[in-house]
Amino acid sequence: FFPNHLKIAIKECLISSIQQFTFVQRLSDRFITFFSPYVEIKISQYDGYQYNHAFASIETYLGEKATDKAKHLRASQVKESKDLVLKRDDTRTRDEYKEVNVWWEIETDSEGYRTYKLTFHRRSRDIVTDSYMKHIFEEGKLIDAKNKKMKLYTNNPSSSWGPNKTALWRCIDFEHPASFNTLAMDSKKKEEILNDLVAFSNGKEYYKKIGKAWKRGYLLHGPPGTGKSTMIAAMANLLNYSIYDVELTAIKDNSELRKLLIGTASKSIIVIEDIDCSLDLTGQRNKEKDKEVKEDNKSFVTLSGLLNFIDGIWSACGQERIIVFTTNHMAKLDPALIRRGRMDMHIELSYCTFEAFKILAKNYLDLDTHPMYTKIESLLKETKIAPADVAENLMKKKSEIDADGSLNDLIDALEGKNTQKATVDESSEKHGIKRFNPFRNLF
């Protein structure tokens, strides 16, 4: 219809007017931003791979602080014993601080990452950036500590990590009744561990002063059923820390281990159970060996990767973390791993002593003493029995507690009349069959 040169001219004309329009629009955007009296600050959920803790504090603060003014609330119960927690369910929130008005807005991008946008008048810039932000982080932390739900995390295989980094770990609420009171072990040793843990959790200033990363490592060793996993649960309950139960066999290599480590929150216990079973600790490997290792369902995390995990520069990312390893076979561990200073404390959990038995009898039978105690004391001196097996004998078998019956069962077990139990345990230890794991079985 139109001659070709006219078509080209119309097209060029259109393109240039579109360009001019976008140029004018960009210019007007800048103009508005330049003259706008409002300032914006954005705080994203993730800073690269690392979780942005400022984001979490803001979320907590806004969730709880401003509920009295909010119209849409979401209710949740944190712990059975604690009160109902109300959270606001709006995406826009106004807050007031020292007579300054600020507005919060939450944005979610196409990948599901969230960002908080804070808007305020530029005349309040100093008060907002200096004291308001600080106020939010402190308040957020306080609220978190008050309402903290303990969690039990375990790592997902990297194939299911996805773009959203929260998929590194999956978690459930942690509600384990273990405590240091009910833990059956030498009381002096127990006291020492308790003091060590409390000193650690209060040690923020101390660690800063001595220039050390705020973390502590414990190696728990001892035969099956002596209370290693139970002690970890008691530690978490004592300090109100969450547990990260690391499944090494689901980790492909050292770099995945590092990502997982960076993805943990502070105030947590990072646990690697049965370190001798799940890792090739010889350090050197050849192709043949790799094949064997794969068949054994062992991890490709190496000893050096693990040592980096404990005391490398990466482990200093994030504060207030406890690392716990457990093993049944101390002798199988590489000397590099058990060298003094690497794990701060080695804790041996041993077969049941008379003192430990008395704690169990108090827990299970409400007994302080009993005529059968003398016999049990002398039997315990000559028989190796795990506290778990003692506890099993003391468990009530009917609806009523029957102290005499339970103590008799225990004496039978100690005298070898109840041989079945002893042999089952020995063979399971030999074949590496693991006892009920209170963490894994919760998933």
Ligand X SMILES: Nc1ncnc2c1ncn2[C@@H]1O[C@H](COP(=O)(O)OP(=O)(O)OP(=O)(O)O)[C@@H](O)[C@H]1O
- Residue pair 216/323 in contact (Cβ under 8 Å)? The answer is yes
Least distance to ligand X, CB of residue 411, Å = 19
275 touches, from ligand X, Mg ion, none (C-beta below 5 to 8 Å by class): none
Q: Across-strand partners of 97?
A: 100
- 44 versus 418: smaller Cβ distance to ligand X: 418
* Residue 45 neighbours by CB distance under 10 Å: 21
- Using CB under 6 A as the binding rule, whether residue 435 contacts ligand X is answered as yes
Query: Where does this chain touch ligand X (CB under 6 A) — which range of 1-9, 29-37, 131-139, 179-187?
Result: 179-187
- 307 versus 338: smaller Cβ distance to ligand X: 338
Least distance to ligand X, CB of residue 227, Å = 3
440 touches, from Mg ion, ligand X, none (C-beta below 5 to 8 Å by class): none
In angstroms, the CA 291 to CA 149 distance is: 42
In angstroms, the CA 147 to CA 143 distance is: 6
Nearby residues of 107 by Cβ (< 8 Å), 6 or more positions away: 114, 115, 116, 117
In angstroms, the CA 70 to CA 60 distance is: 15
Query: Where does this chain touch ligand X (CB under 6 A) — which range of 66-74, 225-233, 237-245, 295-303?
Result: 225-233
- 203 versus 224: smaller Cβ distance to ligand X: 224
Query: Where does this chain touch Mg ion (CB under 5 A) — which range of 162-170, 229-237, 392-400, 416-424?
Result: 229-237
- Using CB under 6 A as the binding rule, whether residue 275 contacts ligand X is answered as no
Residues in contact with Mg ion, counted by CB under 5 A, come to a total of: 2
Query: Where does this chain touch ligand X (CB under 6 A) — which range of 13-21, 222-230, 340-348, 417-425?
Result: 222-230
DSSP H or E run through 238: helix 228-239
- Using CB under 5 A as the binding rule, whether residue 278 contacts Mg ion is answered as no
Exactly one of 63, 140, 217, 227 binds ligand X (CB under 6 A); that residue is 227
Residues 306-335 that bind ligand X (CB under 6 A): 328
- 142 versus 433: smaller Cβ distance to Mg ion: 433
The DSSP line for 268-323 is EEEEE-SHHHHS-TTS---HHHHHHHHHTT--S--HHHHHHHHHSGGGGSSSSEEE
Instruction: Give the number of C-alpha atoms closer than 13 A to the C-alpha of residue 192, restricted to the C-beta side.
Output: 10
- Using CB under 6 A as the binding rule, whether residue 224 contacts ligand X is answered as yes
Residue closest to 326 by CA, chosen among 298, 304, 299, 346: 346
- Using CB under 6 A as the binding rule, whether residue 184 contacts ligand X is answered as yes
In angstroms, the CA 371 to CA 364 distance is: 17
Give the pairing type, strands 38-44 and 321-327.
unpaired
Residues 375-414 that bind ligand X (CB under 6 A): 387-388, 391
Q: Tell me how far apart the terminal alpha carbons of the chain are, to the nearest angstrom.
A: 72
- Using CB under 5 A as the binding rule, whether residue 229 contacts Mg ion is answered as yes
Exactly one of 45, 93, 226, 308 binds ligand X (CB under 6 A); that residue is 226
Residues lying near Mg ion in the complex (CB under 5 A):
228-229
Residues lying near ligand X in the complex (CB under 6 A):
182-185, 224-230, 328, 349, 387-388, 391, 434-435, 438
